[in-house]
Structures are given as structure tokens and as C-alpha cells.
Structure 1
Amino acid sequence: MGDGIETESRKLLGRLRDAMASDDAGQARLDKITHLIATSMGCEVCSIYLFRDEDTLELCATEGLKADAVHETRMKMGEGLVGRVAKRKRIINTPNAPQAPGFRFMPETGEELYSSFLGIPVQRLGETLGVLVVQSKAAREFSSDEVYALEVVAMVLAEMAELGAFVGEGAAMSARHSQPVLVRGTVGQEGVAEGHVWLHEPRVVVSNPVADDPVRETERLNEAVDQLRVSVDQMMSMAGGDKDQQQVLEAYRMFANSKGWLRRMEEDISRGLSAEAAVEKEQSHARARMGQASDAYLRERLSDLDDLSNRLLRILTGQGADTGAEMPPNPILVARNIGPAELLEYGRSLRGIVLEGGSVGSHAAIVARALAIPLIVHASRITNDALNGDRIMV
């Protein structure tokens, strides 16, 4: 990648950080960001769509489309090119948008003037928060460097959304984690419980997604990866002759020593991301692929990579499992998954358990039944939606 492109990407991310640090309201920030992106990309249009509910996207800011369309233009998941980007969690890059499969004409936006279309999913840890779009009148396919740069920008937008930088009027710009959420799963152990969320692995917060010094960020990343590799080797030596544990840890070690994994994160840092944001970008991609993978072996390997990324994030941020938070009254454990030994350590103090993964025949389910604790498995997205202390009914 050329130094000039990397420099322009870092400049744009620097401007986005300034926008995030400003005292502007959420709408003003979004408006400023769409202007910055359109100018930097040399495009007539930049638009940001955010979800107002699970199935509906809303145009929340635009540079180039009709201003009256903001907060008025909405589309369902899978509807139009924007909806297809959100549903498939994949980029659409076409020089002739009106002829692309799934195109939907929206006259209220004035988009009939524009031919080229590049849509990037705005996602964090596999959860799609919205879609970032740039358009131009000239019929051209955006280059791989332009696509890569916009992916990095979308990553920062996702972090800003998580940090509440875009809170404003309307459902699409309401504060995250502040609305009731219904999550469906599979019964692992029957029962009813009411209490407060206790996260087995508290969410790692990336407070500064943009790097001030890419060289130093790369050094920090390499130091953390070295520390991670040492910890994996130590776990392998502790596993002894247990073949099952050895197999799992061999997969861990393979990923920890992957040159491609490290190189991709270093490239993201060269584009302007901090070390933490670069790791989370890779983790988001792994989770997105995990949700689309039909092969059980591939899902397991992607799960390994996701877990390894989480360990690396904790090394970089210093946010270990012990955050200093106290277990709330009537705790209901929320986790991606949990082993039987860890569950036994909690004992009968838990009122209920909700797992994003798991199965009704898992060792954790057997322990939950032995302790007569209500258990839900396959509760999709629960670890993204829940925060410590949230009220929860199971």
C-alpha cells in the first residue's frame, strides 16, 4: 500500500477523532462525518444508515442526497442495496447501481443522479449497527485501497456508536443498551428467574480507536502478541497428557503464531487504527464469518480465533476478567459459553444462566440441571446487548 494512501487514511481518521471529541450533538457529529468522508473520498455522496429496530434501517445523515430524506427514508433488512449490505454483512461495490441486483429506486433521496455505489457494513463484534455508503456520478468501481480505507472508517464509526457519540432524537439514534430487548434461545434447564446480569467475561471497551503514533501502536501490538503466545505455551504445558485439551490449545497456538493474522492487524494500524481497534476489527470479521459458516469445524476454528482476539484485547487494555465490579443481587450469569468447572465455582449463588452458545447436552447444561438453575442456550447476541447490572428475566 502506498504511503500517500495510508497518510490520507490517517488524516481522515484524525478528523473523525476530532469530530468524536467535539461538544457537538449526535446529529451534528454525523453530518460533519459524512462531509469529511465525501470530501476525502472525492465522492458527491456519503450517507450513514443506522438501525432503528432489528429489521429497519434509517437514513440518519447524508452529504449529497436530499436533506429532507434524513430520518424519513427507511428500508427493511435486505431491501435495496443498503439493505442487502446489512443483511449479508458484505460489501457491495458496483459502478452501475441502478443495474445491480436488488437495487431499489428511492426518489425522495435524489439518488437517481448517482451511478457508482460502495456500501460497507458498520459492525462491531459481528453485530451490524448500520451501513456506510459513498456514491458518485461517474461510473467507476472503487479500488481495493478505497474499499479498505472505508472499512477502517466503518470500524471507527462502530466504536463511536458504541460509545454513544451519535445519540440524538429518534429510535435510530437512541442510546445503546437503554431499551428493553427480547432475546430468544433454547431451554437447557427449565425454570423461571428474575435478577441482574453478571457478565462472565465483561465487555472490553476500546476508548480510543484512532492511533496517534502508528509505529508505537505496532510495537504495542507485537509485545502483546508475544505475551499471548507465551501464555498459550504455558497453558499447553499445564494440560499435560489430556489429548482433548492439547488439540484445542494446538489450534490456539496455530492462530497465535499466524503471520497473516498479525500482518492484517499491522496493516490496520498503518491505516490509522490503534492496536486495540485493529484487534477488534479482526475479531468482528471472525464473528461475522462465524454467523455465516455452516461447517461445524469452521465455526469452531473461528470461535477459537474470536476467543484468542478477546485475550489479546485484555492484554492490550489491561481490562482483565476482574474489573472490580461486585456481583449484583440475584445474579443471572450471561456468557458466550462456559465450562463446567467455571460454572461450579459460581455454585448456587446464580439465579439463572444465559449462554450465547452452548447446547442442551453440554457439560455446563448437566451442571445447571444438577444445581436446578434455569438455563437458556443459543441466546443470540446476548453478550452484545447485556451490561453488568441490567435487570433480566429468564
Structure 2
Amino acid sequence: MLEVLRRIIQEVNAAVDLSDALEIIVSRVKGAMEVDVCSVYLTDLDHNQYVLMATDGLNAASVGQVRIDFSNGLVGMVAEREEPLNIQSAKNHPRYQYFPETGEEQYSTFLGVPVIHHREVMGVVVVQRHAVERFDEDEVAFLVTIGAQLSGAIAHAQASGGIDGLRKRRRLSDERPILGVSGAPGVAIGTAVVRYPHADLSAVPDRRADDPEAEELAFRAAVTAVRVDIETIVERMRPVLPAEDSALFDAFIMMLDGDSLVEKSVERIRDGNWAPGALRNTVDEHVNIFEEMDDPYLRERAQDVRDLGRRILQYLQEGDTTRIDYPADTVLVGEEITASMLAEVPTERLTGIVSVSGSRTSHVAILARALGVPVVMGADDLPVTRVDGAEIIADGYSGRIYVNPGPMVVQEFERLVREEDELSDGLKALRDLPAESPDGVRIPLYANTGLLSDIGPSLNSGAEGVGLYRTEFPFMIRERFPSEQEQYEIYREVLESFAPRPVTLRTLDVGGDKALPYFPIEEDNPFLGWRGIRITLDHPEIFLVQLRAMLRASAGLDNLNLLLPMISSVDELDDSIDLIDRAYNELIEEGVAVKRPKIGAMVEVPSAVYQADVLAKRVDFLSVGTNDLTQYLLAVDRNNARVADLYDSLHPAVLRAMMQIVEGARRFGKPVSVCGEMAGDPASALLLLGMGVDSLSMSTGSLARVKWVIRTIDAEKARSLLQEALLLERSSEIREQINTVLEREGLGGLVRAGK
């Protein structure tokens, strides 16, 4: 049964659209379970009904016509209970609802399972038999598995037009939004430009060919290049490979010489698709054929077809010398938008970003906030391959996306964008004013940065210094560890640029999601592994070089603060301070006139929260990295779109941890800074003001917004608001409470679209 299930799921994943997928489901499940009927009902939220959308066994004319109210019928009962319903005689059940147009009166046994996606019932899968006999446990388990696998496909269909989109293939357009999570505030209205990784067929979008003849020539050239490569491999390997193994390469050549793969792709190109899209469709078609075969050996050949397709695609991409045309209103879209993809778009043309994967704390979201570009992350229901060139709206406040929206939606969001622009212009007047509350509490606002190119924007933003300089970037862009002199020159430029304002340099923080190409770290669970201070303590030869470079760079400026990442115990902190003292003493002995800098410990793991007081006793300040702290406290991978909605720095547990950190530091009179993304969120910043946090450090794009909050609301009122928030049990309640206060104070434009 497992093998049958695997084949069905492969076919569903290769389906052209959901309508095709549903037909595969009802046909294959009916055969595999040896039932008389298999049907799929989908949820129609607009009418509070379940609609029959595919069947093998009932009257085909009833598809799209049979509608069952939410509270009626056996299908409604399955959805209500959110569990399988296995009935021996359906007609005798009190919830049975008869639809004569289906012809189902002849079937006795009923088994229905819900299809659930993100806790929402998307539909119901039903199988029926003539025989009056309950389905056994294995059959129930099999259908439950099918329902679970179908959930993602149905969610994609709703994003592409829902129930209506199944009746006919239509242009991707709907007033209902596709849901993601907020990555960076703001509203983007523009043209979708889909980016995708090289040599990844599944990520290639459909795109109209501007010049089909040129596309065909490029495709045939790529096929020829692959053929030459394979012939070369055959000649080199034939003497050492058994005949049966070298036959695989002969099969590749036959496929390239035949009509099925090449000419089918050419046919699609001539129909208007560009070469990579045409190739993807043809390869998917061939893969589907192989995966339907009963022979296990032949099924495995599907992977060979994929490999051949990737080889052709690689040549197509290498030969594509045309520059991507970024419209003036580009919204960058992709399965995963990387920092390099972001960097390729001219800044003045980038309107917004939409990424299927990632969350608010993904690196690209952090960069976008620094640029002031709206971002929606975690949009896993977005049909990326179908949106290239479409008009798109991305609401970075709510995480909603509209593809090819209607005129009413566009008109409303255009109004909100105008108000956003007015708000941004008004915030510029705050640049040189202090972040001081009306009742006289001042909180310095610093910039988070990590690139020399960020120095100018940081200085112009009104930042009072640098609260977090990420020193790992110079390590990540090289093919070896940077020398002491190379590091010295970078740190010196940063310190000089901001002098006499303070600059906090964080020591090397790699591991987890930050890898060095020349220092690979292979771990099953990198976020709980060898990272941050653990690496540098294990390699003092690397750590001491960096510490010496930092201390030398501060000579005569004396505006250096040192920050130690990922501290989880007092032993790590003591050992780190010993190495700092060693580097300092070495330089003094060498005659370098340096002063011992202030030393801080990052609080970003739970153990550091519970030892905040003893850590504060040993250092000059604590700095809270709320991105990792939230991740570790809530056990949520912040880069995983499946759980991105669970990641919330306003979770009651996070707020209580923050309070414990502040109180622990106060026992020894040490200041607390917050350098995570929580500091740049206006709603969170209000609570941090109430906690008595001493400084905030954030992306430059957030500085003016946070400053506006602090200059508008009394610290005493913030403290009262914090006490109320600590009594609440849900992060949604806390956010609603704060947003209500911001709206009342005329600050609503900081947490939603518009002014």
C-alpha cells in the first residue's frame, strides 16, 4: 500500500493544476482501495457549503452542482468533527442527505476524511462501496494519508481562484488575498519579477517568449552541448564501466536524438513559452510517465530524465546573456529570495519583495527593512511559476498578497501608498531630534549594520552610533580567514566614521544559518550546535587575531564596545574575557596605546536569561538578541515558513524573559540594550520603553518610526501598558492592545497601511 501511495502522491505533485490533481486522486484511490466511488468535496467559504468537485463513480454531471451546507450531510459531519467517519449503512444515518442527481443511492458503505491545511478544513475525500461492510483500519489510514497530502494542493487552488478556478483554467486573479507573514512594513504595488536558482527545473516560471525563434535556437544549442558532453563521458567511461551501466548514457543520447523530449519542448516554445519553461513542462510530462510504471527499475528512470533536463537547463542559463528587465515598479518574487538577488535589482526600481520561504527575521527581510522596502515572507500558497509579469500588491503590514487585483483593490491600496509617502516625509523631520519621551525619558537609538556601504545611510538616519556591527560579513565574502591587518582596516573605518559616537563590534558569530565557505560545519541541528562564541573559544588563534584587530582599530578613538555572541554559561563568558585581556595586554606590551573597551554579553538563549544577573556582574552591559531568543524560547525555526506564524516576539513568554533580563542587570547597575528586530518594531519598542531598556539598536529604516513612538507616548504610560500586557495570555491580545493605543495616539500608520 505504501508503494501505491507514493506513486499517487508523485502523480498529484506532477499534475498541471488542481483540477488535474483531483481527477488523479479520485481515479487512483478508487483503483487502489477497490471501491466503487471516490469523490472530493471542496470548501466554498463564500456560500458556507461543500461542493462536489471531482468524482469517479457518481454521475459526472453532478460535479460542481452538488452543494452541501456546512451543517448538513455526512460530508458536513466529517468536516465538523475534523476526523474520519466510517459508516456501514450511510442511508440509515440521521445526517444522510440524498442527492438524486449523483446516483449514490445504490452505495451503502461510506468513508469520509477531512482535508485540513493550517488548521482549516479545505474539503472532504469520500469513498463508497455497494457492499454493506465497514472499511478496515488500513483503508481508513490510507485515505487519511491521501487527505493530508492533498491539503497543500487545495490551498494552492484557492490562491489561484478557489472553487471557480477548478471549473476552468482562468487567469490568476482574485479579490481574496494569499496569506504570508509580515517581513517589512509598507505597501508595494508593482510588477512581479520571478527569480529562481540556476539549474532548478521545478523553480522555473512560465514566461512569454519575446522571440520564439531565438528561444528555439538557444534550446537546440543547449541540447547539442549536452549531447557532446554525454558523448565525451561515454568515451571516457566505456573502458571502465560495465555495459549495462554505460547503457544509461546511450539512453540519454537516444532521448536527445528522439522527438519526444526535444520536439515536444520546441512545440511549446513555438506556442509562446520561453525555452526553460517549455523544457520544464516537457520533463515533468516524461517524469510522470515513468513514475506511473509498475516496474521499479523503470520508475527510477524518472530521476534520469530530471538529470537530463537539469543539464539542458544549465546550458540554457549559461547561454542567456540577456539582462533581466526590471520594471520601475519591480516586486521581486521567488521561492527563496536571497541577498544577492536583492542586490541585483537597482534600488530605485525595487518596490517590494515576496518570498515563499523565510520569516520576518530572514536576512533578506532585515536588509529590506534597512532599505525601507515592504516584504511579505512565508507565502507558501503563492503559485510562483504563474505570477511572472503579473500585477501584484504586497501588504508588508498584514502579510497579504493580491495577484492581478481588481480595480477597487488597486484604488484602495494606491490611496494607502500615498498616505504612506506622506507619513515617511513627515518622519524625516525627526532625524536630528532625540528619542525622548514627553515626560523626559531618553533612549539612545543605534543602528544595526555589517557592511561598510551602510555607514553613509546609518550616519544620515539620525542614529546615535552603532549598536550592533556584524563582523562576520568580511569573513563570509573571502576564501580564507581575513588577516589581522585586513580586519583592522575595516574596523578602523567604521570606528572613525562614527567617532565619538559609540560603535559595538560583535565578535565573530558564524554557524547556524551563517556558513563560511572555507570552514564548513556539518551538523544535524546547527542552531543548537557549534556556533557563535563556541567556535571562537575552540579556536583562540582565530579569536585573538580578531580581538587584536578590534582593539588596535580603537586606538585614539576610544569609542569601541565589544559584544560576545551566544553566551550560554558563565564559563564561556569568563574564558572570553580572559582572551580579551590577553589580547589587550599583548598590545600594551607592544607599545600600542589602546584602552580596555566596554565588554557586553549577548542574551539570546534561555540559560542566559536565567543567569542574567551573574552575567551582568561580569560585564559592562547586556545586549538582548531578540531574534534568536524568541526562536529558542518558542522552539520555532524563524526561517521555516510552516511555523512562521508562531514566531512572535510579543509572546507572553518572551516579554517575561525580557523583564527577567532587565531586572537581573539592574541588580548590578548594568545597562541593557536590545539589538534584535524587536527593537525596530514600533509596537514592541513601546513595551521596551516601559521595561526601562537603556538603548535600542535596529535597521536604519526603522529608526524614525520608533523615534516617533518614543517622542509621542510618556514612559509612565508605557510602563502602565506593559503591566497590562503582562497579564494577558496570548500574543495576539498583546498586539491588539498595543495597536489600539497607537491608533488612539494617532500612530496607527506605524502598524498598518496608510497614515
Q: What TM-score do you get using the length of structure 1 for normalisation? A: 0.54
Q: 1:203 aligns with which of 373, 378, 397?
A: 378
The answer on 1:235 being equivalent to 2:588 is: no
Q: Identify unmatched segments of 5+ residues in structure 2.
A: 179-184, 189-351, 362-376, 383-521, 532-565, 569-603, 614-627, 651-677, 683-697, 707-729
The answer on 1:343 being equivalent to 2:681 is: yes
Q: Which residue of 2 aligns with 1:18?
A: 11
Give 3-state SS (helix, strand or coil) of 2:143's partner.
helix
Give the partner amino acid of 2:25.
I
1:55-114 deviation line (CA, Å, top 9, x unaligned): 122111001111111111111212211122223323222222222342211111111111
Q: Which residue of 2 aligns with 1:50?
A: 42
Q: 2:144 aligns with which of 151, 156, 160?
A: 151
Bigger relative contact order, structure 1 or 2, given CA contacts below 8 A and separation 6+? 1
Q: Which residue of 1 aligns with 2:110?
A: 117
Distance 1:102 1:132 in 2: 17
Count residues in correspondence: 272
Q: Call closer, same or farther: CA 1:103–1:157 in 2, change over 3 Å.
A: same
Distance 2:45 2:523 in 1: 38
Percent sequence identity is: 23
Distance 2:127 2:93 in 1: 15
Q: 1:373 aligns with which of 729, 740, 748?
A: 748
Give the partner amino acid of 1:52.
D
Given that 2:86 and 2:110 are in contact with CA atoms closer than 8 Å, whether structure 1 keeps it comes out as yes
Distance 2:731 2:62 in 1: 37
Give the partner amino acid of 2:109.
S
Given that 2:18 and 2:154 are in contact with CA atoms closer than 8 Å, whether structure 1 keeps it comes out as no
Distance 1:229 1:140 in 2: 51
Given that 1:59 and 1:69 are in contact with CA atoms closer than 8 Å, whether structure 2 keeps it comes out as yes
Distance 2:100 2:141 in 1: 30
Give the partner amino acid of 2:92.
Q
Q: Call closer, same or farther: CA 1:12–1:72 in 2, change over 3 Å.
A: same
Given that 2:160 and 2:173 are in contact with CA atoms closer than 8 Å, whether structure 1 keeps it comes out as no
Q: Which residue of 2 aligns with 1:180?
A: 175
Q: Which residue of 1 aligns with 2:21?
A: 29
Q: Call closer, same or farther: CA 1:72–1:364 in 2, change over 3 Å.
A: same
Q: Which residue of 1 aligns with 2:732?
A: 357
Q: Call closer, same or farther: CA 1:335–1:194 in 2, change over 3 Å.
A: farther
Q: Which residue of 1 aligns with 2:312?
A: none
1:190-237 deviation line (CA, Å, top 9, x unaligned): xxx994598747327499xxxxxxxxxxxxxxx998556669997212
Q: Which residue of 2 aligns with 1:281?
A: none
Q: Which residue of 2 aligns with 1:142?
A: 135
Q: Which residue of 2 aligns with 1:41?
A: 33
Distance 1:161 1:121 in 2: 12
Q: Which residue of 2 aligns with 1:279?
A: none
Q: Which residue of 1 aligns with 2:66?
A: 73
Q: Which residue of 2 aligns with 1:275?
A: none
Given that 2:43 and 2:122 are in contact with CA atoms closer than 8 Å, whether structure 1 keeps it comes out as yes
CA RMSD of aligned residues (A): 4.9
Give the partner amino acid of 2:34.
G
Q: Which residue of 2 aligns with 1:61?
A: 54
Q: 2:637 aligns with which of 311, 318, 324?
A: 311
Given that 2:112 and 2:126 are in contact with CA atoms closer than 8 Å, whether structure 1 keeps it comes out as yes
Q: Call closer, same or farther: CA 1:356–1:236 in 2, change over 3 Å.
A: closer
Given that 1:228 and 1:312 are in contact with CA atoms closer than 8 Å, whether structure 2 keeps it comes out as no
Give the partner amino acid of 2:637.
R
Query: Could you tell which deviates more after superposition, 33-42 or 153-162?
Result: 153-162
Given that 1:57 and 1:77 are in contact with CA atoms closer than 8 Å, whether structure 2 keeps it comes out as yes
Aligned-pair CA distance for 1:154 = 1.1
Q: Which residue of 2 aligns with 1:214?
A: none
Aligned-pair CA distance for 1:143 = 2.8
Given that 1:224 and 1:312 are in contact with CA atoms closer than 8 Å, whether structure 2 keeps it comes out as no
Q: Call closer, same or farther: CA 1:240–1:145 in 2, change over 3 Å.
A: same
Q: Call closer, same or farther: CA 1:74–1:349 in 2, change over 3 Å.
A: farther
1:6-45 deviation line (CA, Å, top 9, x unaligned): xx1342232332243144x543332222010111112111
Q: Call closer, same or farther: CA 1:363–1:170 in 2, change over 3 Å.
A: closer
The answer on 1:95 being equivalent to 2:88 is: yes
Give 3-state SS (helix, strand or coil) of 2:58's partner.
coil
Given that 1:93 and 1:142 are in contact with CA atoms closer than 8 Å, whether structure 2 keeps it comes out as yes
Q: Call closer, same or farther: CA 1:145–1:169 in 2, change over 3 Å.
A: closer
Given that 2:680 and 2:703 are in contact with CA atoms closer than 8 Å, whether structure 1 keeps it comes out as no
Aligned-pair CA distance for 1:122 = 0.9
Distance 1:313 1:370 in 2: 34
Q: What TM-score do you get using the length of structure 2 for normalisation? A: 0.30
Aligned-pair CA distance for 1:176 = 12
Q: Call closer, same or farther: CA 1:343–1:82 in 2, change over 3 Å.
A: same
Q: 1:130 aligns with which of 106, 123, 129?
A: 123
Q: Call closer, same or farther: CA 1:73–1:365 in 2, change over 3 Å.
A: same
Distance 2:523 2:92 in 1: 47
Distance 2:523 2:116 in 1: 24
- Structure with larger Rg: 2
Distance 1:167 1:66 in 2: 27
Distance 1:336 1:34 in 2: 37
Give the partner amino acid of 1:343.
D
Q: Which residue of 1 aligns with 2:216?
A: none
Distance 2:149 2:171 in 1: 16
Note the 1:156-175 alignment, pairs <5 A.
156-164=149-157, 171=164, 173=166
Aligned-pair CA distance for 1:135 = 1.3
Q: Call closer, same or farther: CA 1:360–1:228 in 2, change over 3 Å.
A: closer
Q: 1:9 aligns with which of 2, 13, 23?
A: 2
Distance 2:7 2:523 in 1: 24
Give the partner amino acid of 2:605.
M
Aligned-pair CA distance for 1:376 = 8.9
Distance 2:646 2:173 in 1: 20
Aligned-pair CA distance for 1:372 = 1.2
